[in-house]
């Protein structure tokens, strides 16, 4: 069964390549070929038929070696990693459930994130010059600087009759002549595209007005679609990925520390489809990977604003929208990237 699913993923992935662009705007999470890929969230049911499937494609005509590394929700590296080599135009796919199944008890406990039903975390995938046991945040990690990788994520819930997909976050390699505001995702001099707010704001400024970049560490807002149709048990979950590789833990826990001069609580507003405000409160990001279930019964949208994001916090967000009913034809799940306004 697992082999069949992975084969299907590989076929679907190859068909998804049509229309792919070849160069992107630094600081923007556009769909491009890249030197590194980020899986901002995986979820595996411990005792449930729920899995996350990863597929990566080497678009080059030469062999490419990958290094994948699995991290827990607080940005601590686990001992799950490997260095698969892909020949020219080869794809590679893997089931996170299968990968975690052979891990040690200590590693499985590390990935349970305090829940009893799921393993959760994120994955980094980097093009390397040779096999390594290092994580990409460590000195001497052998980055290879070619933008040839594409990747997709499939979230599969077989028991519920649901599956959805999302592009991996592509991080392009940019040369040392590129403005430093656009690079150093993991650490200084890594050449990997940054997606923190300064990089996003600078990308917006240069593409819209051609103006000069200014330091702007605070994200104005993130907007998410909310689907809550009560007749088919509509549900929405938000995933917020906020990582500072040098500082394990969440953005809020960083801002809790006296002297870091940033807010730990961020304005959270929920609206119905008519734009009527239904909820006005605050929320926190206590982990690198934050999972938030949306309350209420009304369709609409959620906005999280004024997010304090020091220079090195890399930020991405998306939402799951799903439905469940007695009729299998109305069971579905879709993923939508959040709109991030820097």
Express each pLDDT in 103-161 by its tens digit. Answer: 999 999 999 977 779 999 999 999 999 999 999 999 999 999 999 999 999 999 877 78
**According to the model, what pLDDT value does residue 23 have?**
65
Q: pLDDT at position 214, please?
A: 80
**What is the C-alpha to C-alpha distance for residues 12 and 273, in angstroms, rounded to an integer?**
34
- Domain carrying residue 282: 197-341
Per 3-state DSSP, what percentage of the chain is helix, strand, and coil (rounded to 5)? 15, 40, 45
Give the pLDDT of residue 329.
62
**Are 143 and 206 found together in one domain?**
no
| 46 DSSP 8-state letter | S
Residue-wise pLDDT for 46-102, tens only, equals: 988 899 999 999 999 999 999 999 999 999 999 999 999 999 999 999 999 999 999
Q: What is the DSSP string of 158-220?
A: GGGTEEEEEEPEEE-B--TTS-GGGB-SSSTT--BBP-SHHHHHHHHHHHHT--------EEE
pLDDT reported for residue 29? 80
Q: What is the pLDDT of residue 207?
A: 81
Are 59 and 154 within one domain? yes
168 and 202 inside one domain: no
CA nearest to 28, candidates 325, 318, 316, 323: 316
For 215, the token pair is 């330091």
Take residue 172 and report the two structure tokens written for it: 């392009």
188 bridge partner residues: none
CATH of the domain at 110: 2.60.290.11
The structure's pTM equals 0.90
How many domains are contained in the chain?
A: 2
Q: What is the mean pLDDT of the chain?
A: 89
Question: What pLDDT was estimated at residue 14?
Answer: 36
Distance CA 208, CA 143 (A): 32
Residue 192 domain-assigned? no
Band of residue 13 on the pLDDT scale cut at 50, 70, 90: very low
């Amino acid at each position: 069964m697992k082999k069949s699913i992975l084969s299907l993923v590989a076929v679907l992935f190859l068909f998804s390549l049509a229309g792919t662009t070849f160069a992107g705007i630094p600081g923007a999470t556009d769909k491009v070929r890249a030197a590194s890929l980020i899986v901002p969230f995986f979820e595996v049911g411990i005792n449930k038929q729920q899995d996350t499937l990863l597929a990566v494609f080497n678009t080059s005509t030469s062999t490419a070696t990958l290094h994948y590394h699995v991290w827990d929700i607080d940005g601590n590296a686990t001992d799950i990693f490997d260095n698969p080599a892909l020949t020219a135009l080869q794809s590679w796919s893997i089931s996170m459930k299968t990968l975690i199944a052979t891990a040690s008890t200590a590693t499985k406990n590390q990935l349970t994130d305090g829940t009893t039903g799921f393993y959760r975390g994120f994955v980094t995938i980097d093009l390397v010059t040779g096999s390594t046991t290092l994580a990409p945040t460590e000195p001497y990690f052998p980055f290879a600087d070619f933008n040839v990788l594409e990747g997709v994520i499939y979230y599969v819930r077989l028991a519920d009759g649901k599956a959805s997909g999302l592009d991996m976050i592509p991080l392009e390699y940019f040369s040392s002549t590129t403005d430093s505001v656009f690079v150093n995702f993991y650490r200084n001099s890594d050449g990997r595209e940054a997606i923190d707010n300064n990089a996003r704001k600078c990308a917006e400024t240069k593409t819209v007005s051609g103006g000069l970049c200014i330091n702007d560490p605070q994200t104005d807002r993130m907007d998410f679609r909310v689907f809550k149709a009560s007749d088919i048990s509509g549900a929405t979950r938000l995933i917020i990925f906020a990582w500072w590789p040098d500082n394990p833990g969440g953005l809020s826990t960083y801002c809790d520390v006296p002297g870091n001069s940033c807010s730990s609580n961020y304005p959270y507003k929920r609206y119905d489809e008519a734009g009527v405000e239904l909820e006005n409160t605050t929320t926190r990001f206590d982990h690198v990977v934050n999972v938030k279930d949306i309350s209420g019964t009304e369709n609409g949208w959620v906005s999280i604003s004024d997010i304090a994001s020091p220079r090195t916090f890399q930020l991405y967000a998306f939402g799951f929208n799903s439905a469940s009913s007695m009729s299998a034809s109305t069971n579905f799940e879709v993923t939508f990237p959040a709109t991030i306004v820097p």
